[in-house]
Amino acid sequence: MNLDHVFVCGHPALDFAATLRARRSTRFEMFVTPERLNAWYVESGLVDSITPGCEQDVRAATTVREAVYRLVTNRVHGEEFDREALAVLNGVARREPVTPQLTLAGRHNEGTPDQALATVARQAVELLSGPDVPLLKECGNPECTRIYVDRSRGTRRQWCGMDSCGNRIKAAAYRARKKTSPALGAH
């Protein structure tokens, strides 16, 4: 699997939770170094620039990520929030977030890894207490464990993203049909 960060979930907190991929099988960790974590913060648009991080930032981020994933999963399955995950998320959400600054070139978000994490935690609080909760769905690809916001017409979306999962599933189904169909016309 490649190390490109993917943003297909429709909300930054969900994309953050999806940085541990394929949770039910191979479990692929995206936050392998402080640099990879900071790259996610920048690529997600959370910050324009960020101070260098350390291993402790990675541990803190993965702890919050797992709390977010647990709480989102609770919501998707109509369960009560996990109290431990709630305490983790709320504790980090109380910290100082990234503060936007106005510069001659426009808006500039600069922060530390801790501020970026607090911002993600606050976004998760907004998501899990907001109007999009009924639109949360888990990707239909059994290998994928991403949860996304389904804003499609009639909420009929089945995959986190066509490029990442939809095309793969459709291609596999097509190949399976091709294997069985030649026998029909071979008389």
Domain spans of the chain? 12-161
Q: Give the pLDDT mean for 115-135.
A: 97
Structure tokens at 110: 């600069």
- pLDDT for the residue numbered 168: 58
For domain 12-161, give the CATH number.
1.10.3300.10
Least reliable range by pLDDT among 14-23, 157-166, 171-180: 171-180
Structure tokens at 126: 């907004």
Using CA of residue 14, residue 19, residue 20, residue 22, what is the dihedral sign? positive
Please answer whether residues 86 and 128 qualify as being in contact, where contact means their C-beta atoms are separated by less than 8 angstroms: no
- pLDDT for the residue numbered 170: 58
Short-list 60, 47, 127, 66, CA closest to 92? 60
Angle between helices 34-43 and 113-128 (to 10 degrees): 50
Q: Give the pLDDT mean for 23-51.
A: 93
| Structure confidence by residue, pLDDT tens digits, 44-70 | 999 999 999 999 999 999 999 999 999
Q: Is pLDDT at 4 greater than 80 in this prediction?
A: no
Structure tokens at 111: 């922060």
168 vs 23, 106, 107, 173, CA distance in Å? 18, 40, 38, 9
- pLDDT for the residue numbered 111: 96
Q: Is pLDDT at 91 greater than 50 in this prediction?
A: yes
Least reliable range by pLDDT among 3-7, 72-76, 134-138: 3-7
Q: What's the pTM?
A: 0.85
- pLDDT for the residue numbered 175: 59
Short-list 13, 6, 8, 7, CA closest to 159? 8
- pLDDT for the residue numbered 1: 43
